[in-house]
Copies of this chain bind each other. A is one copy, B any other.
């Protein structure tokens, strides 16, 4: 029952570094790619394990889109929301500035649910996809 200690290894530091410095929302594969530039030889499994650990400890966020799309990771832990293009799957951060603290508290008591946070996804079409003539197939679902 003793809490396992979380060790600081070069791999974990590199993964965190990569995600925190990313300007986009990289997939695990992209994170691996970038980590490899700094720490050649790192295994994919290690990256997956590190990402899971960072998500669990709240240092980064994970975002899933369509059924067969890879999970993406987000450095920004500040309250912010996401713009999701349903057409091409592109992801962007937005600051909507919602503060539904009261609502969340209400939900919490009404539903016997311990709220830890929330995530607002705004769906639609990005500029590029809006201009496309007749959208039909979606990348993300």
Contacts and interface: CB of A to CB of B under 8 A. Distances in A.
A113 B67 contact: no
A65 interface: yes
Interface residues of A, number: 46
A107 interface: yes
Contact of A130 (B83, B114, B123, B125): B114
Given A104-B122, A122-B104, A116 B56 contact: no
Interface string A103-130: 1100110011111111111111111001
Copies of chain A in the complex: 2
Contacts of A130: 112, 114
Interface string A12-34: 00000000000000001000000
A13 to B, nearest CB: 21
A119 B123 contact: yes
Contact of A64 (B67, B83, B117, B126): B67
Given A55-B141, A116-B124, 5 more contacts: A56-B138, A62-B141, A66-B71, A92-B111, A118-B123
Interface of A: 1, 28, 48, 52, 55-56, 62, 64-67, 71, 83, 85-86, 92, 94, 96-98, 100, 103-104, 107-108, 111-127, 130, 134, 138, 141
